[in-house]
Homo-oligomer: A and B are copies of this chain.
């Protein structure tokens, strides 16, 4: 089927209404208005200035670089109904053909699936409060079927900043925390004190190690069904400190089951739309924690898929 007005006309209408929303936002910012102005699409990543990057680079003292991603494939536990596949083929080489006298052959690959499988970053267009998304953007104005027209992951700038790894399992004196264990301000401050971390600062990335990642491949169902994680007060505390990103070695970052009286994924709402703070999930900190790499230089270049909601990433932490 096809509307009277062509899709291009519909787009024009949508653009017009988007504009109206934007004008209104300038006059009277909404509850998700960005500190960085009405045109901002990347939130607290704006805190990562060259000075911040330069200072963080000085955390490199051994040259040890950590690859924080787990693998993305059709077996790794993922939020239903997400699936993922890769297919390898040899285009135009059937029958053993190769190219040229030098016999060039090549493999190519196709991916089909949901982006939210494996280690991923949630863009600021991932979660909303009703139809209200980050920086007063209404979902209807930017969430088109062929890609987000705002807040897409292609907008994320180069991220090179300080990471603080909080060993929450260590803080609770265990190797793997139980599902439902919640981290709020007291636990965050406690873990910092235990690890000798003086402060969390604007533009920092805060990473929570729970040990939960070890369940993958051993008890995928438990990995998926719940996890220890960040609570609402903790999320607001981190927001008050101006962090740019929060990550964890779990599928949800936030505690599941949710805190008593908490809404559904309320921590996601506090971080993404309300404060412009990115979330990274399914990270692996086992090697870093063995090395007590509590503070590091964190570098993330998210693949720039235009209009992407999330991105499959592999952050690198160096110290």
A residues whose Cβ falls under 8 Å from a Cβ of B: 1-4, 6-7, 10, 14, 48-55, 57, 60-74, 79-116, 118-119, 122, 125-131, 138-140, 143-148, 154, 157-160, 224-227, 251-254, 256-258, 262-266, 268-269, 281, 297, 299-316, 318
Chain B nearest CB, measured from A221 CB (Å): 9
Give chain B residues whose Cβ lies under 8 Å from the Cβ of A84.
305
Contact of A101 among B53, B251, B257, B263 (CB under 8 A): B263
Give chain B residues whose Cβ lies under 8 Å from the Cβ of A54.
60-63
Copies in the complex: 4
B308 adjacent to A53 (CB under 8 Å): no
Complex alpha-carbon distance, A99 and B306, angstroms: 26
Knowing A146-B88, A303-B314 are in contact, say whether A107-B94 is a contact too (CB < 8 A). Answer: yes
* Closest chain B residue, CB of each to CB of A263: B102
Chain B nearest CB, measured from A312 CB (Å): 4
Contact of A94 among B72, B105, B254, B302 (CB under 8 A): B105
A316 adjacent to B85 (CB under 8 Å): no
Knowing A63-B50, A299-B301 are in contact, say whether A94-B93 is a contact too (CB < 8 A). Answer: yes
Give chain B residues whose Cβ lies under 8 Å from the Cβ of A97.
96, 140
Complex alpha-carbon distance, A240 and B108, angstroms: 28
